[in-house]
């Protein structure tokens, strides 16, 4: 499979699958058909679209077998520095808590339950976007432009998914997109530095958990912090490259 075909297969496959689910939900809503089973099935089919087509393209383009993808998804054996790097970027991203941000009240066990939930509904997306799609883009494009293109594709995918799960109507679009752009740089920088899929999966999940449990009371300060996080992520990749092989 050639590079351009791999990109086309990934994008067409991912978006054809999630758009088909959106159309199904549109028809169900139009005819006032309510079904919990169909809702769960639709969320599942839409949610796994990027991971599923990432697996398909990984197999045909990178010649990575499914077993290795699973092993990479569960690979905890990496340098402690990689975990510290993830921790550093997460702390930096949520440093708005030191400038008036708030933490919502929650039971002690809730973050743990949310973490495992977001592994499935969030972390698994990393198979498609960071493990497959952006590395293909980076074969021809610089890191910054590859991350921006990944962000735009990922953002459209999220908006379609939010239509499926019903949260699109209440979505605060600008804060979400700025947060997603920041996450695109954090996660892509981590994958470029570590070449460890699990690091991205765990970081994605933790960011999702903290996003649900915190409130930024000053948007302007938060936006400045996120710009700084993006700059730090770019610096990490551009000035201190680690050479890894698959």
Q: Is 55 among the domain residues?
A: no
Q: Is 10 among the domain residues?
A: no
Q: Is 86 among the domain residues?
A: yes
Q: Report the chain (246 residues): mean pLDDT per 10 consecutive residues.
A: 96 98 93 89 96 98 97 95 97 93 91 94 95 98 97 98 94 95 98 96 97 90 95 90 46
Burial level of 174, CB count in 10 A (0-12/13-18/19+)? exposed
What pLDDT was estimated at residue 241?
A: 52
Distance of CA 155 to the CA centre of its chain: 10
Q: Is 5 among the domain residues?
A: no
Q: What is the pTM of this model?
A: 0.93
Q: How many domains does the chain have?
A: 1
What pLDDT was estimated at residue 218?
A: 82
How many residues does the structure list for the chain?
246
Domain that holds residue 170: 72-239
């Amino acid at each position: 499979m050639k590079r351009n075909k791999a990109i086309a297969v990934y994008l067409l496959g991912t978006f054809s699958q999630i758009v088909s689910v959106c159309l199904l939900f549109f028809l169900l809503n139009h005819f006032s058909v309510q079904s919990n089973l169909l809702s769960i099935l639709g969320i599942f089919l839409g949610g796994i679209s990027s991971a599923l087509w990432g697996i398909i393209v990984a197999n045909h383009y990178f010649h990575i077998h499914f077993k290795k993808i699973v092993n990479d998804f569960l690979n905890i054996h990496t340098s402690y520095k990689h975990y510290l790097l993830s921790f550093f970027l997460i702390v930096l991203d949520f440093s708005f808590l030191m400038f008036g941000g708030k933490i919502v009240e929650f039971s002690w066990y809730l973050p743990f339950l949310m973490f495992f939930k977001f592994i499935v509904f969030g972390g698994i997306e990393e198979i498609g976007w960071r493990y497959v799609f952006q590395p293909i883009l980076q074969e021809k494009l610089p890191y910054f432009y590859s991350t921006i293109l990944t962000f735009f594709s990922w953002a459209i995918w999220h908006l379609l998914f939010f239509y499926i799960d019903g949260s699109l109507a209440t979505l605060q679009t600008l804060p979400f997109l700025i947060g997603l752009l920041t996450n695109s740089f954090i996660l892509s920088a981590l994958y470029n530095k570590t070449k460890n899929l699990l690091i991205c999966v765990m970081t994605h999940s933790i960011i999702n958990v903290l996003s649900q449990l915190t409130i930024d009371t000053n948007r302007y300060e938060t936006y400045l912090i996120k710009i700084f996080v993006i700059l730090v992520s770019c610096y990490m990749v551009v000035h201190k490259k680690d050479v890894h092989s698959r």
